[in-house]
């Protein structure tokens, strides 16, 4: 889908960003109406949501940062999504970093992937967030996008985005749908009501400390402590 750039006669497109607890990705709709995920490092379609402060003026994002996490734990930030909209911060080389500052580095890296892949500059984006995110968390996510030099056109609930991707917006009658989101850092359930293409989140619940990463850790601990 292309949109007119309000500041010029240039034509750009909306990009969808899934800013995840453990992995993030960016996609767009091509000229044939198909959703395309932008590949990045080593042709991977997902970017580890990990930031490494290598020096006062060098920040590394992604797989390289993840690989260094065990060697420089005090310089690596993981799962920053869990701290969005809170008073948490970290001091790195004399500078205070808030969650939205760190998230901005992840979003910038995704934009760089896109420019490298298809030569387009990413400007207009839609970012998905958990349905349970409050106003502070949503505002922090929007600010992260702005700090990354992006125009955040909309913040969309992740279960709503999943329902749209599945094509549930084409249902002709009023319906209620349960969407399970089992992510790397969270597991939640949302009940959506669909009516003439309009989505409304009726209820949501879940555990923000129960995702794939947490299950991996539990299995590793079990193996280490098992008599077998």
The DSSP call for residue 120 is: P
Residue 118: pLDDT band with limits 50, 70, 90: confident
Residue 12: pLDDT band with limits 50, 70, 90: low
Residue 75: pLDDT band with limits 50, 70, 90: very high
pLDDT in tens, 200-212: 899 988 888 888 9
Token pair for 220: 């590793």
Residue 228: pLDDT band with limits 50, 70, 90: low
Among 4-8, 114-118, 121-125, 136-140, the range scoring the smallest mean pLDDT is 4-8
Instruction: Indicate the pTM of the whole model.
Output: 0.87
- Which 3 state secondary structure label does DSSP give 54? strand
Span 156-177, mean pLDDT? 88
Residue 83: pLDDT band with limits 50, 70, 90: very high
The DSSP call for residue 20 is: -
202 phi/psi in degrees, rounded to 5? -85, -35
Span 164-176, mean pLDDT? 87
Question: Which residues are catalytic, by number?
Answer: 18, 81, 158, 181
Structure confidence at residue 5 (pLDDT): 38
User: Of 164, 167, 192, nearest to 178 (Cα)?
Assistant: 192
User: Of 83, 92, 41, nearest to 62 (Cα)?
Assistant: 41
Query: Which has the higher per-residue pLDDT, 137 or 6?
Result: 137
- How many percent of the chain have pLDDT more than 90? 66
Token pair for 146: 């702005």
């Amino acid at each position: 889908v292309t949109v007119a750039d309000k500041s010029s006669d240039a034509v750009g497109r909306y990009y969808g960003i899934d800013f995840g607890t453990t992995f993030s990705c960016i996609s767009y709709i091509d000229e044939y109406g198909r959703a395309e995920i932008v590949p990045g490092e080593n042709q991977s379609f997902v970017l580890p949501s990990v930031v490494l402060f290598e020096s006062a003026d060098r920040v590394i994002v992604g797989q390289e940062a993840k690989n260094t996490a065990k060697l420089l734990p005090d310089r690596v930030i993981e799962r920053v999504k869990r701290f969005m909209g809170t008073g948490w911060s970290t001091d790195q080389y004399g500078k205070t970093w808030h969650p939205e500052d760190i998230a901005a580095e992840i979003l910038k890296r995704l934009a760089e992937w896109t420019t490298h892949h298809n030569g387009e500059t990413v400007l207009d984006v839609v970012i998905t967030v958990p349905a349970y995110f409050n106003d502070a968390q949503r505002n922090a996510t929007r600010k992260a996008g702005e700090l990354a030099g992006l125009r955040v056109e909309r913040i969309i609930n992740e279960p709503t985005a999943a329902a749209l991707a599945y094509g549930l917006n084409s249902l002709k009658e009023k319906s209620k749908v349960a969407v399970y989101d089992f992510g790397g850092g969270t597991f939640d359930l949302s009940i959506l009501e669909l009516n003439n293409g309009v989505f409304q989140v009726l209820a949501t619940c879940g555990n923000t400390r129960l995702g794939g990463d947490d299950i991996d850790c539990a299995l590793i601990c079990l193996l280490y402590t098992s008599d077998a």
